[in-house]
C-alpha cells in the first residue's frame, strides 16, 4: 500500500468584512501525516524526524493533550467520548511541521477514518498565542471523496479582534489531489470573517521537503510574524479589541453532537 502522508502546498486567505474590511494572502504548505506511518517516515526520510530534532519535524507533544507519544490514543479517546467507534482507526493529521524546531499551528485538522476508508470524524484543534488548545470533535457520515459541511459554537479565545460569542461554519474538501479547509465565522449580525487554506498534493519525500524549504524558507517563523503584523494592521484600522478570555483549561475539547453533511465533489 502506498503511503498517504503528503505535502500540500498552497495559499492561506483571510477576508474580514466588518467593522473594517481587511484581507491577507500568504503562500504556505502543510503536511498530511498518517499517524500509523510516523515510524517509517522517521526512519526513511533524512529531512524529516518524529519527536526529535531535524530540519523538519513533527512532535506529538505539540498536539492533543501534550503526551509525547500518545497522539493516536488521545484521538481514540476523544472519539470514544463522542460515541464514535474506533475499531481499525486510521488518523491523518493536517498541520504545519516544525522547521528548525519551531512551529505555531493556529489550526490542526484530524481526519479520522475506519478500516474501509470511511470518514468517521473530523477534529479541529485550534491554538492561540496564549498556549491554549481546544479541539472540536465532529462526527462524519462515513463518506469520503466529498465536501463536508458542519458548524459549531466558538469555545476558545483566538484573536483580540474577534469576540467570543461567535459560530464557525466549516466547509472541508478531504485530502486527495487537493485539500481545502474553509471557515466562515459569524456573530449575531451574520458572517464577518472568512478564512481558507487550499493546497495541492505532492509526495512526502526528501526531494519534496527540500523544494518546500527553498520555496518557503523559515515558514513557521513567518506564520507567527504574519500574525503579529496583521494584528498591527487591524489595530491601526481601529478595529475593536477584545480582552483575552482565559480558557478554563489549557487543553480542552468540545463534542459536537450533530452529524455532518457530505456532498459529492
Q: What is the pLDDT of residues 30-63, one digit of tens each?
A: 999 999 999 999 999 999 999 999 999 999 999 9
Provide CB contacts within 8 A for 88, sequence distance 6+.
114, 115
| Long-range contacts, 22-25 (Cβ 8 Å, 24+) | 22/230, 22/233, 22/234, 22/237, 22/239, 24/226, 24/230
What are the sequence ranges of the domains in the chain? 6-264
Model confidence, pTM? 0.94
Q: Residue 216 is placed in which grid cell?
A: 518557503
Residue 23 CA, distance from chain mean position: 20
Q: Assign 93 to helix, strand or coil.
A: strand
Of 79, 127, 72, the closest CA to residue 103 belongs to: 127
H or E segment to which residue 98 belongs: strand 98-99
Q: What is the pLDDT of residues 103-144, one digit of tens each?
A: 999 999 999 999 988 999 999 999 999 999 999 999 987 555
Amino acid at each position: 500500500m502506498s503511503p498517504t502522508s503528503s505535502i500540500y502546498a498552497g495559499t492561506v486567505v483571510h477576508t474580514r468584512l466588518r467593522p473594517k474590511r481587511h484581507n491577507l494572502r500568504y503562500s504556505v504548505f502543510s503536511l498530511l501525516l498518517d499517524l500509523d506511518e510516523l515510524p517509517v517516515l522517521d526512519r526513511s526520510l533524512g529531512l524529516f524526524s518524529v519527536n526529535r530534532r531535524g530540519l523538519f519535524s513533527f512532535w506529538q507533544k505539540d498536539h492533543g493533550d501534550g503526551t509525547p507519544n500518545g497522539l493516536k490514543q488521545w484521538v481514540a479517546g476523544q472519539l470514544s467520548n463522542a460515541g464514535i467507534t474506533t475499531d481499525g482507526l486510521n488518523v491523518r493529521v493536517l498541520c504545519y511541521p516544525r522547521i528548525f524546531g519551531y512551529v505555531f499551528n493556529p489550526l490542526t485538522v484530524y481526519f479520522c477514518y475506519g478500516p474501509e476508508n470511511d470518514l468517521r470524524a473530523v477534529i479541529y484543534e485550534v491554538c492561540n498565542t496564549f498556549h491554549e488548545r481546544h479541539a472540536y470533535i465532529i462526527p462524519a457520515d462515513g463518506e469520503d471523496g466529498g465536501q463536508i459541511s458542519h458548524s459549531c459554537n466558538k469555545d476558545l479565545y483566538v484573536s483580540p479582534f474577534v469576540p467570543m460569542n461567535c459560530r464557525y461554519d466549516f466547509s472541508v474538501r478531504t485530502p486527495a489531489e487537493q485539500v481545502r479547509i474553509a471557515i466562515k465565522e459569524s456573530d449575531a449580525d451574520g458572517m464577518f470573517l472568512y478564512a481558507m487554506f487550499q493546497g495541492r498534493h505532492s509526495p512526502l519525500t526528501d526531494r519534496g521537503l527540500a523544494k518546500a524549504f527553498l520555496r518557503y524558507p523559515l515558514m513557521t517563523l513567518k506564520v507567527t510574524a504574519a500574525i503579529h503584523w496583521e494584528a498591527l494592521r487591524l489595530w491601526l484600522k481601529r478595529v475593536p479589541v477584545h480582552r483575552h478570555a482565559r480558557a478554563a483549561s489549557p487543553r480542552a475539547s468540545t463534542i459536537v453532537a450533530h452529524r455532518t453533511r457530505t456532498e459529492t465533489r
